[in-house]
Amino acid sequence: MKHILLSLILLCSATVLIAQTKQVYDEDFVFTDGLYLNKEQMQQNRPVDKARIKSQIDPEDLAFFDYLTQQSTVTIYNEVGAEVTVKTSSLWGYCSGGIIYINYNGYFNRVGIVGSICHFLGTKTYLNSRDPFYGGMYGRYGLYGPGYTMSTEAQQYLLNFETGEIFEYNTNNLDHMLMKDPELHDEFADLKRKKRNAKLFYYMRRFNEKHPLYVPVYE
């Protein structure tokens, strides 16, 4: 039985490889809708589609994935039809209406700019101290005790589509990501600090134009 299942999986994989082509990403490209269990499913444009998701939510509802990811767990059917339950917090993200949302810092954030370097607006959490002498961080009230509060604020991020790495949106991190293109990197590095801050989007766009993103599509 195990050999039969393995043969079926290999056959399906071979079929996928034959049917796969790569297309340059542009503003008309539409990603395939579904859940991303990991970054590879996003990179390969092969999410878990609605037909493999067990849910009472109407699959035709435009907010299907939004409602689905508000639950603590999600149940899907794997490649051999067995039910698998995963924690929503462990999902990489999802695609809805051709738009990618990635799970970061506890929120599913829309990726506003897609390319070899992506950009999205998320949140960042801070620990604030009301009274630095109120028991201390590791005092009798424990870590993050009554003397501390949590707050969040909007934060811009960069996503390396090829590796799945996420960085805060700033000149240092973009400088690091531009190293793949020495000419562009040196041009950016030669700018004065204030000019670099003002030209972050410009150089991110130039990098994406010089290094277009190729996304798999399937027939």
Question: 33-61, pLDDT tens digit by residue?
Answer: 999 999 999 999 999 999 999 999 999 99
Structural domain contains residue 180: no
**pLDDT band at residue 207, thresholds of 50, 70 and 90?**
very high
| Phi then psi dihedrals of residue 122, to 5 deg | -130, -150
Q: Please state whether beta strands 53-54 and 34-36 pair in parallel, antiparallel, or not at all (unpaired).
A: unpaired
Asked if 119 contacts 169 with a C-beta cutoff of 8 angstroms, the reply is: yes
How far apart are alpha carbons 213 and 206 in whole angstroms? Answer: 13
Query: What value does the mean pLDDT take over residues 182-206?
Result: 96
What tokens were used for 146? 């009554």
The share of the chain scoring above pLDDT 90, in percent, equals 74
**pLDDT band at residue 141, thresholds of 50, 70 and 90?**
very low
Structural domain contains residue 40: yes
Sign of the Cα pseudo-torsion (95, 96, 102, 108, in order): negative
Whose CA is closest to 88, among 115, 111, 110, 65?
Answer: 65
Structural domain contains residue 203: no
Query: What value does the mean pLDDT take over residues 152-164?
Result: 94
How far apart are alpha carbons 155 and 172 in whole angstroms? Answer: 15
Ramachandran quadrant class, 12 (left: phi over 0; alpha: psi -120 to 50; beta: rest): alpha
How far apart are alpha carbons 153 and 181 in whole angstroms? Answer: 32
Structural domain contains residue 175: no
Q: Which residues contact 26 (CB under 8 A, 6 or more apart)?
A: none
124/94: higher pLDDT: 94
Tell me what pLDDT residue 139 has: 47
Helix, coil or strand: residue 68: helix
Residue 162 has pLDDT above 90, yes or no: yes
Structural domain contains residue 67: yes
Structural domain contains residue 195: no
Query: Residue 68 is part of which domain span?
Result: 30-104
Tell me what pLDDT residue 153 has: 87
Structural domain contains residue 125: no
Q: How many domains does the chain have?
A: 1
Kind and range of the H or E run holding 85 = strand 83-87
Structural domain contains residue 90: yes
Helix, coil or strand: residue 195: helix
Sign of the Cα pseudo-torsion (159, 115, 213, 195, in order): negative
**pLDDT band at residue 9, thresholds of 50, 70 and 90?**
very low
In a 13 Å sphere around the CA of 148, the CA atoms on its Cβ side amount to 15
Ramachandran quadrant class, 95 (left: phi over 0; alpha: psi -120 to 50; beta: rest): beta
Which residue reads 């790569």 in tokens? 22
